[in-house]
Amino acid sequence: MAHNPISDDGLAATHAACVEERRLETLDQLYETYEPSVERWVRRLAGPGAEVEDLVHDVFLVALRRRHEFRGDAKLSTWLFRITERIVRKRVFRRRVRGFLNLVFRDNTIALSPASPTPLEELERRQQCALLYAALDRLPEKYRTPVIMFDIDGRSAAEVATLLGIKTNTVWVRVHRARARLFNDLSAEGNIP
Is residue 78 one of the residues assigned to a domain? yes
Domain containing residue 43: CATH number = 1.10.1740.10
**Residue 130 domain flag:** no
pLDDT at residue 90, as a whole number: 86
**What's the CA gap between 161 and 164, in Å, rounded?**
5
Residue at 50 is within a domain: yes
Are the CB atoms for 139 and 171 separated by under 8 Å? Answer: no
Cα(146)–Cα(24) distance, integer angstroms: 39
State the pLDDT at residue 78: 85
Q: What is the pTM of this model?
A: 0.43
Domain that holds residue 28: 17-93
Number of folded domains in the chain? Answer: 1
> Which residues are within 8 A (CB) of 147 and not within 5 positions of it... i.e. 6 or more apart?
136, 139, 174, 175, 178, 179, 182
Q: What is residue 141's predicted lDDT score, i.e. its pLDDT?
A: 86
Q: Which of 41, 34, 87, 42 is nearest to 62 (CA)?
A: 87
| CB-CB contact of 186 with 192 (8 Å) | yes
Distance (Å, whole) CA 178 – CA 81? 32
Q: Is the residue at 168 inside a domain?
A: no
In a domain? residue 182: no
pLDDT score at 166: 92
Determine, yes or no, domain membership for 125: no
Please give the chain's pLDDT, 193 residues, in tens: 455 555 555 555 554 444 444 554 577 788 888 899 899 888 888 777 778 888 899 898 888 888 888 877 878 888 888 898 888 888 877 877 777 777 766 655 555 545 677 888 888 878 887 787 788 888 888 898 888 888 877 888 888 888 888 999 999 999 899 888 888 888 776 655 4
pLDDT score recorded for residue 65:
86
* Helix pair 8-46, 52-65: axis angle to 10 deg: 140
The pLDDT of residue 19 is: 46
- Asked if residue 66 is part of any domain, the answer here is yes
191 domain residue, yes or no = no
Distances (CA, A) of 94 to 78, 91, 138: 24, 5, 15
CA atoms within 13 A on the CB side of 69: 9
CB-count burial class (<10 Å; 0-12, 13-18, 19+) for 99: exposed
